[in-house]
């Protein structure tokens, strides 16, 4: 296969993988009734003048499946972490006992589970749209090579089939990830 076509396919594969990884990272921030330390990954606290994610300032552990315990390495950060969690509006009120912060995850109602399920499906659809956009970019690059007479009609047709296969596989992986997260949310 021609070098430029291989490069297009490698770029396509890389972008499809990144799209899936972003989706999975987004799924990690959705709380499904169980304590999930990843919900604090994007919450930042002012640590000596530098906005720092909470996991880089504290030990975060799960207790009894529905309680997150945040133990800062520097006790002076307790108030700042508590405030950052409140400001982040993650839907859980922190309790501060002077040594650590506890976040108790409430049991999800059926209505809330359905809302989260819709949210997960919408995130999956957004990821599919992103993958289709990546496919469009790859097809345009391929068309340019064909128009510039760098590759033949047959090579172009073969590469288009490869692109479609990559994207179909990517969309199937998104569907699997959405189904798994949906099952996790809907499990009582």
The per-residue pLDDT for range 160-180, each reduced to its tens digit, is 999 999 999 999 999 999 998
Rg of the chain taking only CA atoms, in angstroms? 22
Q: What is the mean pLDDT of residues 14-30?
A: 87
Indicate if the pLDDT at residue 76 is higher than 90: no
Instruction: Region of 174 please: left (phi>0), alpha (psi -120 to 50) or beta.
Output: alpha
> What are the extents of the domains in the chain?
3-29+109-186, 37-104
Q: Which residue has the higher pLDDT, 124 or 187?
A: 124
Residue 1: per-residue pLDDT: 56
Q: What is the mean pLDDT of residues 141-155?
A: 86
Grouping H, G, I as helix, E, B as strand and the rest as coil, residue 71 is strand
Residues sharing a CB contact under 8 Å with residue 63, sequence separation 6 or more, in sequence order: 35, 69
Percent of the chain at pLDDT > 70 equals: 97
Q: Which CATH architecture does the domain made up of 3-29+109-186 adopt? A: Orthogonal Bundle (1.10)
3-29+109-186 and 37-104 in the same fold: no
Residue 178: per-residue pLDDT: 92
Q: Which CATH architecture does the domain made up of 37-104 adopt? A: 2-Layer Sandwich (3.30)
Alpha-carbon distance 116 to 29, whole Å?
Answer: 11
Question: In this structure, are residues 185 and 113 in contact, taking their beta carbons and an 8 Å threshold?
Answer: yes
Write out pLDDT tens, residues 83-130: 888 888 777 788 888 888 998 877 778 888 888 889 899 999 999 999
Q: Quick one: pLDDT band at residue 32, thresholds 50, 70, 90?
A: low
């Amino acid at each position: 296969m021609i070098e430029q076509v291989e490069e297009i396919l490698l770029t396509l594969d890389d972008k499809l993988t990144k799209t899936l990884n972003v989706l999975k990272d987004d799924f990690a921030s959705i709380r499904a009734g169980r304590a999930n330390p990843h919900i604090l990954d994007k919450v930042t606290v002012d640590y000596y003048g530098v906005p720092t994610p909470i996991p880089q300032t504290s030990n975060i552990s799960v207790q009894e499946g529905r309680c997150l315990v945040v133990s800062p390495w520097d006790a002076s950060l307790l108030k700042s972490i508590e405030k950052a969690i409140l400001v982040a509006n993650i839907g859980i009120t922190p309790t501060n006992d002077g040594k650590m912060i506890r976040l108790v995850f409430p049991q999800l109602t059926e209505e809330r589970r359905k809302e989260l399920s819709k949210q997960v499906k919408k995130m999956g659809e957004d990821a599919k749209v992103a993958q289709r956009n990546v496919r469009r970019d790859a097809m345009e690059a391929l068309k340019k090579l064909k128009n510039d007479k760098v590759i033949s009609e047959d090579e172009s047709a073969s590469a288009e089939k490869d692109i479609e296969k990559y994207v179909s596989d990517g969309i199937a992986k998104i569907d699997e990830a959405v189904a798994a997260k949906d099952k996790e949310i809907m499990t009582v």
